[in-house]
Amino acid sequence: MRSIQQWLVAGLLLLSAVNTAAQTPASKPKIVVGMMVDQMRWDYLYRYSARYGNGGFKRLLREGFKCEQTYINYAPTVTACGHTSVYTGSSPAVHGIVDNDWYSRELQRGVYCTEDSTETTVGAEGKAGNMSPRNLLVSTVTDELRLATNFRSKVVGVALKDRASILPAGHTANAAFWYDGKSGNFISSTYYMKALPDWAQRFNAQQLPVKYLAKGWETLYPLNSYVQSDADNKDYEKSFGHEKAPVFPHTFTGRESNGIRTTPYGNTLTFAFAKAAIEGYSLGAGTETDFLAVSFSSPDAVGHQFGPNSIEEEDLYLRLDKDLEEFFTYLDKRFGKGNYLYFITADHGVSQSPGFLEEHKLPTGLLDADALVKDINTAIAAQFGIAKGVVAVSAYQLYLDHDAFADRKIPLQPVIELVIRKLKATPGIADAVSLPELGTAALHEPLRTMLINGYNKQRGGDVILLMQAGWKDGGRSGATHGLWYPYDAHIPLVWMGWGIKPGKTYRTTGMTDIAPTVAALLNIQVPSGNIGQVVWELFK
């Protein structure tokens, strides 16, 4: 009898130990999955929530920690700057990625943020892979993870856009992959590898873009049930080139592999490749924490073409929700629920289309930047004798031809003053400021700090123009972003998984707080240019 009792006690102790071990979180996550949704405004978490499923965005809101007031703390609010700032904890003033493209005074031409003529394409013909992160001046949190583990941790970047994969993955990544619309392949660069891994070649061989596009794009639900959107056919939406009107159903030839960027299938394709990369590199299977930096580019393409109040936008997010639920299920099965750290955020938001704003009597207008620069150059030529005083415009910054003025011994200050006067007299421009004098300019907060954070002395211009809210450079159709206003700068930030308790904060947090928070969770060094602060509420 005593022997039986001893066995029962031993069994209960063993069961208790097993249960305790099961309830004790691992000392570190198997993998960090950083997910960025290009052009996702904060309100999209809630705007379409009535029709979200329980396992996608609603799971995030239910199980995650929500930073409800996360803002971009610099301008311009564009893709390259956003992806870089999230992963560096820094701003363009420090990390050097001042726009998607900028003007190089040294080269006297435009420079693309990730261009690199010393590297070549891997996985296709052409120059789409002549890329690297070498224009990035500081380290990323993904770099710091590699450094902290003596490069045992693996880091992989995945996106349709090259810059959205390359910049988050950092300088020391094992790999970064992006989509080449010409070939329909995910490709890379000789910066990372000499040839695509076998698993990536097999993935490309499936020709998924052609198969997805052959289905066409119809709404998930009856068209009249999309109550969060405007009518289907609006003249301020842009049509696909082969269509007469921007209306459902959208059909494709199946050969337009680049067109997948402007459909929800671009998200589905990205999720599929992300899963293939996890398995191909055995991410999360080693002794160290690995990192998958994945970005979804299609929401940006759809938002630009149709606008944020379109049925296309609503349908895309309803489909993204389903893809996200499937991805969470995959992560749960592969790593175990609670064994991966996940965060979701965006690189920027978006404004409403000017046509939509006009229709609903909201402030808006159109600016013709090309005509404006031509007019300014005419004035400069008349007063100073320089034919083309403004040589480039990038991120709303005007670049003067320093060499031309120096050769004529003309000081820049009176030229800058002329440019500012012309800009301030232009409808739709709220203000114009000399960039070197931002520190003393009569600007309110947070605008002053945002402009200072966005100005890099080596890569920046001479004068910045500040457009009025709701105004857009170009035509009344489609939508854009890039300004300091909340519609462009208020982004989602939700954490979930390893080490995260459900909750929320309404304290103002910044895009640059993400990298130092990841670093704190992983007990590693912050990136070299970090200016952000830890979201301390996660650690309560």
Residue 161 marked as a ligand binder:
yes
Q: What is the pLDDT of residue 198?
A: 99
Instruction: Determine the pLDDT at residue 26.
Output: 79
Locate the domains of the chain by residue range. 31-358+484-539, 365-469
Cα-Cα-Cα-Cα dihedral sign, residues 65, 68, 69, 75: positive
pLDDT at 505: 99
Q: What is the 3-state secondary structure (H, E, C) of 466-510?
A: EECCCEEECCCCCCCCCCCCHHHHEECEEEEECCCCCEEECCCEE
Of 70, 77, 79, 121, which residue is the catalytic one? Answer: 79
The helix/strand/coil state of 131 is strand
Model pLDDT, residue 10? 46
**Please, where are the H alpha helices in 262-384?**
265-280, 298-306, 311-335, 354-359, 369-384
Percentage of residues of the chain with pLDDT beyond 70 = 95
Distance between CA atoms of 168 and 97, rounded to whole angstroms? 12
Domains 31-358+484-539 and 365-469 fall in the same CATH topology: no
Which pLDDT value is given to residue 241?
Answer: 85
Q: Could you tell me which residues come within 8 angstroms of residue 317 by beta carbon, excluding any fewer than 6 positions away?
A: 44, 48, 299
Rounded Cα distance, 460 and 454, in Å: 9
Question: To the nearest 10°, the Cα dihedral for 43, 100, 86, 170?
Answer: 150
Q: Which residues contact 127 (CB under 8 A, 6 or more apart)?
A: 120, 121
This prediction has a pTM of 0.94
- What phi, psi does 215 have (nearest 5°)? -75, -25
Q: Which CATH number fits domain 31-358+484-539: 1.10.645.10, 3.90.1150.110, 3.40.720.10, 3.10.590.10?
A: 3.40.720.10
Would you state the pLDDT for residue 254?
59
Integer CA distances (angstroms), 339 to 29, 33, 229, 271, 504, in order: 5, 11, 38, 19, 21
SS3 320: helix
- For the chain, how long is the longest CA-to-CA vector? 109
Mean pLDDT, the chain cut into blocks of 10 residues (540 residues total): 46 43 70 99 98 98 99 99 99 99 97 99 98 99 99 99 99 99 98 99 97 96 96 94 92 79 98 99 98 99 98 99 99 98 99 96 97 98 97 98 97 98 98 95 95 98 98 94 98 98 98 99 99 97
* Distinct helix (H) and strand (E) counts, the chain: 19, 21
For 65, the token pair is: 């920690």
**Chain Cα centroid distance, residue 47:** 20
Domain 365-469 maps to which CATH number in 1.25.40.10, 3.60.21.10, 3.40.50.20, 3.30.1360.150? 3.30.1360.150
Measured distance CA(338)–CA(284) in Å, rounded: 13
Long-range contacts for 321-324 (Cβ within 8 Å, ≥24 apart)? 321/48, 321/52, 321/53, 321/56, 321/57, 322/53, 322/56, 323/56, 323/267, 323/268, 323/271, 324/55, 324/56, 324/57, 324/60
Residue linked to tokens 């990136």: 527
162 is in an annotated binding site: yes
CA angle, corner 163, sides to 343 and 398, nearest 5? 115
Instruction: Map 340-367 to HEC letters.
Output: EEEEEECCCCCCCCHHHHHHCCCCCEEE
DSSP classification of residue 151: T
Residues 1-48 have pLDDT tens digits of 444 455 444 444 444 444 433 445 579 999 999 999 999 999 999 999
What is the identity of the amino acid at 342?
Answer: Y
Told to judge if 79 belongs to the known catalytic residues of this protein, a careful annotator would answer yes
- pLDDT at position 73 is 98
Beta carbons within 8 Å of 417's beta carbon, 6+ residues apart: none
